[in-house]
């Protein structure tokens, strides 16, 4: 059940987090050139605490005035009919019993504020190691959005983590999404989701219509980036796949790649085909009924990993800046062998 709550202005929300370097479904961690990178200095504000103290519109206005970046970018106060109207909406939301209950469940699911701050600082420190021009958002905040809008908001000025999206299956209210997507909304998925969002800052946009290969490589770069700044996050978390799905892909990698080649898919720029193989979908029956959606992203990640293994002198910034997907594929010598 989705909480039906007012303004579209409240639709933007936070994102992602995986606690430290814990062993997950895969043993061990990837090599980490940024292992000694300084932890980024980060102040984490728990805006949900102040939000749930709002009892009337006047207090709603005070909340927005105390958090101007949040009000501007997240609440989108400039798009509201007026600040007073938005303040009234905030008061209605903050006193909504269903949202108050979700707030308590969020606090129980994310009890360790210091760990969250440390994990974010560690991840951002690694991003800065690879990209010295990267600036950690000066305002980082958690919030309880009522499952309204996006699950992540991050720009150069603000990071908001909408933690209520990531409570997991025990939450009273869950995102209104199909099951194959919903399983990615657990506490462990928080940082991987954020890392792939930050990666988008460093993936050049193609000015012409992208091909299937372009999108595979672009998404593969994002996932590779996330794996570098979260070296202990297993592929199940990076991809949002079950262990069974991932094992199936690994075993049938040659078959999956053969499907793309035999059907001349790589150079098609048909949006329908990109959606079918790279974007969200429960499965890809054209390959096999058990093949999970977004398989093109997974193949893109394998191509990127092979390319980087073949070119150990290429840095992460150089990889991300490379705009020629065909060159990456050719120079990767990616040819998976049949199991």
pTM equals 0.89
pLDDT band at 23 (very low <50, low <70, confident <90, very high): very low
pLDDT band at 7 (very low <50, low <70, confident <90, very high): very low
Show Cβ contacts of residue 196 under 8 Å, excluding neighbours closer than 6 positions.
222, 223, 225, 226, 238
Query: What is the rounded CA–CA span in Å between residue 173 and residue 2?
Result: 6
Cβ–Cβ < 8 Å for 212, 296? yes
pLDDT band at 327 (very low <50, low <70, confident <90, very high): very high
Query: What is the rounded CA–CA span in Å between residue 163 and residue 167?
Result: 7
pLDDT band at 149 (very low <50, low <70, confident <90, very high): low
Cβ–Cβ < 8 Å for 20, 232? yes
The angle at the Cα of 133, spanning 127 to 138, to the nearest 5 degrees, equals: 75
Between β-strands 152-154 and 44-46, what pairing exists: parallel, antiparallel or unpaired? unpaired
Q: Which phi and psi (to 5°) does residue 6 adopt? A: -50, -110
């Amino acid at each position: 059940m989705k909480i039906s709550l007012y303004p579209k202005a409240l639709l933007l929300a936070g994102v992602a987090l995986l606690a430290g370097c814990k062993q997950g479904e895969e043993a061990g961690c990837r090599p980490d050139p940024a292992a000694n990178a300084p932890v980024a200095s980060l102040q984490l504000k728990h805006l949900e605490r102040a939000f749930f103290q709002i009892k009337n519109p006047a207090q709603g206005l005070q909340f927005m005035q105390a958090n101007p970046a949040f009000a501007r970018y997240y609440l989108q106060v400039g798009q509201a009919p007026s600040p007073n109207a938005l303040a009234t909406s905030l008061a209605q939301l903050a006193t909504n019993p269903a949202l108050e209950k979700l707030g308590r469940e969020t606090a129980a699911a994310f009890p360790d504020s210091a760990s969250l701050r440390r994990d974010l600082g560690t991840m951002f420190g690694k991003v800065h190691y690879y990209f010295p021009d990267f600036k950690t958002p000066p305002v980082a905040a958690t919030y309880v959005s009522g499952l309204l809008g996006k699950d992540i908001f991050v720009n150069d000025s603000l990071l908001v983590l909408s933690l209520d999206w990531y409570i997991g299956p025990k939450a009273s209210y869950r995102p209104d999404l199909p099951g194959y997507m919903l399983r990615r909304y657990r506490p462990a998925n928080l940082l991987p989701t954020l890392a792939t969002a930050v990666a988008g800052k460093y993936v050049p946009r193609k000015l012409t219509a992208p091909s299937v290969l372009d999108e595979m490589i672009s998404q593969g770069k994002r996932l590779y980036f996330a794996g570098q700044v979260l070296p202990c996050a297993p592929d199940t978390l990076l991809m949002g796949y079950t262990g069974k799905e991932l094992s199936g892909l690994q075993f049938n990698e040659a078959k999956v790649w053969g499907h793309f080649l035999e059907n001349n898919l790589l150079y098609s720029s048909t949006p329908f085909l990109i959606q079918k193989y790279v974007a969200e979908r429960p499965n890809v029956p054209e390959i096999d009924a058990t093949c999970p959606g977004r398989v093109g992203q997974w193949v893109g990640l394998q191509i990127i990993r092979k390319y980087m293994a073949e070119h150990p002198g290429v840095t992460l910034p150089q990889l991300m800046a490379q705009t020629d997907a065909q060159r990456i594929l050719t120079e990767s010598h990616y040819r998976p062998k049949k199991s």
